Amino acid sequence: MLNKEQIAKRIAQELQDGFYVNLGIGIPTLVANYIPDGLDVVLQSENGLLGMGPFPFEGEEDPDLINAGKQTITTIPGSAFFDSAMSFGMIRAGKVHLTVLGAMEVADNGDIANWKIPGKMVKGMGGAMDLVAAAQNIIVAMQHTNPKGESKLLSKCTLPLTGVGCVKKVVTDLGVFNITENGFECIEYAPGVTINEIIAKTAGRLTIAPTVKEIVL
Amino acid sequence: MLNKEQIAKRIAQELQDGFYVNLGIGIPTLVANYIPDGLDVVLQSENGLLGMGPFPFEGEEDPDLINAGKQTITTIPGSAFFDSAMSFGMIRAGKVHLTVLGAMEVADNGDIANWKIPGKMVKGMGGAMDLVAAAQNIIVAMQHTNPKGESKLLSKCTLPLTGVGCVKKVVTDLGVFNITENGFECIEYAPGVTINEIIAKTAGRLTIAPTVKEIVL
Amino acid sequence: MKKVVSGADEAIQDIPSGAVLMLGGFGLCGIPENCIAALVKKGINNLTCISNNAGVDDFGIGLMLQKKQVKKMISSYVGENAEFERQMLSGELEVELIPQGTLATRCMATAYGMPAVYLLAGYGTEVAEGKEIRNFNGKNYLLENAFNSDFAIVKAWKGDTQGNLIFKDTARNFNPLMAMAGKITIVEVEELVEPGVLDPNFIHVPGIYVHRIFKGLHYEKRIEQRTVRKVSK
Amino acid sequence: MKKVVSGADEAIQDIPSGAVLMLGGFGLCGIPENCIAALVKKGINNLTCISNNAGVDDFGIGLMLQKKQVKKMISSYVGENAEFERQMLSGELEVELIPQGTLATRCMATAYGMPAVYLLAGYGTEVAEGKEIRNFNGKNYLLENAFNSDFAIVKAWKGDTQGNLIFKDTARNFNPLMAMAGKITIVEVEELVEPGVLDPNFIHVPGIYVHRIFKGLHYEKRIEQRTVRKVSK
């Protein structure tokens, strides 16, 4: 099983030189810690920044400089600020190569639900619907099952959707799954996890890739 | 009869403090010379400048600083540059209070033709169609008749249209005309011009305002 | 062309109860603190607020919520606010949630004189309900209307007396878009300068879009999530 | 992420005959002189050029017209060019005339991922022929498609090696819009600097939109209408 840091580390393997990347709140944010050396990857924050740097040193926080999670951050050489319309414009125009975000549920056709639980306080979708509708390539980082042990990889989402047919890949604590015409395709499994466990804990259509192998971090 | 300078001077009387104004090529450009003292009027050039200043002094021309007529110009304190989309965006959003432009023909319903003569080389509409479609208030500056002596104030334009029902006022060498439900309404006549001459030289529907008076410059 | 007003009270004096307001800012970053305080003091109510967020309990639009001045919020994300939640669950407060990019682009549409725009976000979700859907080049888009607001209230970094504005860092966010979208645009700035001080090549919002401007006072600039790293030894 | 190329020849080396190009500039102001020279040298043809103007006989896109490299011009204004006129009247050159604001906004639509936009310009004129017309709030708009080009070729004032761009004065015009609209965007700059030199608050086009950048050489910057005033005594 992968812990959160390991999920992030595995997703970081998807990065390529020159990628512009948007990282959602939670596990996705951790991906920034594992960008492979030598790759030039630029982080986009949808509140209006390309070239997001690390958190500021204590005492150097600037209230005018935050990320989409409202955390204080820094710039790096080559950063650029812009307004919210341009920010989502570049996402919509396909300029952001990769978006990583969390989810409550993913369906085997790429549908995603991550913004609303009926009966609970709804805080809003923020930029999630824009990101999932418009990004070129979307990877979901999440736990394979919910706290009750129920699969979050479903044949159909039960929660209100954030976007349809948009997720390309899911990385969970149990493995890595492409979304194909035939549903989830397990291409890698986590150390210590069996294929049978993955089959048991996946509710949506699942195939196991002939080349399936253990995740190497 | 008014000469070109006088037509421009009469149009300048329409300016109000705080107006943002777009002036077309030809007579409209001359309006800038007659902005009444004490009025704060800002000139927009649709190639991307608010706050157009006078021509540069000899030797101070900057090829990167031109107006929509491609003439070298200058800025003034408070000028701002922007791209062509924002330029026409602010026009479309009604932020430009007044547009003054020339015309080949104006119809008594406010239609205007000023970009194309069939059979002759067509150079294009430039920004004219955007301006006439979107400006809040459009005044046409032109000669009352063409070189053959035929009226340019018509019941219907004979040339391809630039815009429909958009002109609010016409200032010619003979007088000042509002465009109303009843067609052209003569509200002022030029010194030395008779109402009969105006009637004779106007082909579109024409009424004479009860308050009609001589133009005072 | 007198755009400069004495302060927030004068700037907002003619905003009536029932008005539709746009309020700039993302979270608590780049919010018009002075104008919000003046709106609270003025005590008008039944307001519709178009703003990406709704502040926190004791800061930002949260202050207006405490005074029950807001009838409806149009936002993309409204967490972090207990009073908001109470009013929403009790039905006192109407809430319309809109994807963040759609919110931004509907402001831009207004600013650019476009009556409606086709956007991808929300297709296939409850956001699409009742909206026109149209396929272009194999993708489905929703037709989203430009916003129609009475006043836009924004915070800029620097501005000149003609209304030219520049913004700082991510305090830019929705501010320039709303500044350009307001029927009447009210701007508070940290620094108010004479025309000619700001470089004309680096104006974010040209003065043509701005109706009232003043130098704001006493910015608190509260930080919502203070995150830092230690100096590495 | 290597965006810096050695010069215009390398920047345009993979542009094939028949390509659809966007070319920045207004009149002769802010045109990509180096790239145009390289395109002329390369000798490809059957090009479709989206550009507000078509240059003059011996400068700008006029140089490409002299070599009969252009199959179609999509512009708002094409005067001041005898060879252009000859080719157009003889039917060698196809010309599509578009209102200037529509041209700009169709670029912006591409840049912002909007498939089409509703615009006022041209309603009731021959420009509206064959286009969808729709009434919003009592006004009639034409539905205008975003542009689909293969390459955008623009001129900026300064740029950094990551592709962040700034433009000078009215040499900005269509350049940032086209830079953001290109499938592949090629930029020539007067000054090429390292990341961090340009102020992140004053970037006109963020590097994410830019694929290739180089420092241009020997800018002529021809003036089309030299207008001056005398020093007043």
What pLDDT, on a 0 to 100 scale, did the predictor assign at position B57?
Answer: 94
The pLDDT value given to residue D232: 62
Q: What is the mean pLDDT of residues D91-112?
A: 96
**Terminal Cα-to-Cα distance of chain B (whole angstroms):** 12
Query: Per-residue pLDDT averaged across C53-77, rounded?
Result: 95
Question: C140-183, pLDDT tens digit by residue?
Answer: 999 999 999 999 999 999 999 999 999 999 999 999 999 999 99
Assign C164 to helix, strand or coil: coil
Q: Hey, which residues 142-181 in chain B have their CB within 8 Å of chain C?
A: none
Q: What is the pLDDT of residue C232?
A: 62
CB B91 within 8 A of CB B130: yes
**pLDDT tens-digit series, residues B120-138:** 878 899 999 999 998 889 9
Query: Options 3.40.1170.60, 3.90.1150.10, 3.40.50.620, 3.40.1080.10; which CATH number does A4-42+96-214 get?
Result: 3.40.1080.10
Cβ-Cβ contacts under 8 Å between B and D: the total is: 183
User: Residue D165, SS3?
Assistant: strand
Six-digit token string for B86: 């924002």
Averaged pLDDT, A43-71: 95
Q: What is this model's ipTM?
A: 0.96
Looking at residue D81, its pLDDT comes to: 85
Cα–Cα distance, B1 to D137 (Å, whole number): 42
Q: How far apart are CA C210 and CA C198, in angstroms?
A: 16
Domain ranges of chain B: 4-42+96-214
Q: What is the pLDDT, as a whole number, of residue B28? A: 94
* % of chain B with per-residue pLDDT over 70: 100
User: Any idea what DSSP says for residue C26?
Assistant: B
Is residue D1 predicted with pLDDT exceeding 80?
no
Q: What percent of chain C has pLDDT over 70?
A: 99
Q: Mean pLDDT across the stretch B157-176? A: 97
Judge whether residue C233 has pLDDT over 60.
no
Task: Output DSSP code: residue C200.
Answer: G
Confidence band, pLDDT 50/70/90 cuts, at residue D114: very high
pLDDT digits (tens, 9 = 90+) for A59-114: 999 999 999 999 999 999 999 999 999 999 999 999 999 999 999 999 999 999 99
What mean pLDDT is predicted for residues A184-190?
98
Of B40, B81, B92, the CB nearest to C200: B81
pLDDT at C85: 87
Which of A73, A75, A130 lies nearest to residue C99, judging by beta carbons? Answer: A130
Tell me what the pLDDT averaged over chain B comes to.
Answer: 95
D164 and A91: CB-CB below 8 Å?
no
Name the pLDDT band for B112 (thresholds 50, 70, 90). very high
Cβ neighbours of C180 in B, within 8 Å: 89-90, 93
Position D82 pLDDT exceeds 90: no
Say what percent of chain B tops pLDDT 90. Answer: 94
pLDDT for D231 equals: 72
User: What per-residue confidence (pLDDT) applies to B136?
Assistant: 84
Is B53 part of the contact surface with chain C (CB cutoff 8 Å)? no
Substitution target in D4, D202, D208 with the highest count of A β-carbons within 10 Å is D208
What's the pLDDT score for residue A135? 85
D90 shares contact with chain C (CB less than 8 Å)? no
pLDDT for C81: 84
pLDDT of A84 reads: 98
Q: How many CB pairs under 8 A join A and D?
A: 68
pLDDT over threshold 70, residue D233:
no
Least Cα distance to C24 among C222, C183, C203, C173 occurs for C173
* Mean pLDDT for chain D overall: 96
Q: DSSP label at C205?
A: B
Q: CB of C167 within 8 Å of any CB in chain B?
A: no
Greatest Cα pair distance, chain C, in angstroms, is: 58
D97 to chain B, any CB pair closer than 8 A? The answer is yes
Give A77's contacts in chain D (Cβ within 8 Å). Answer: 194-196
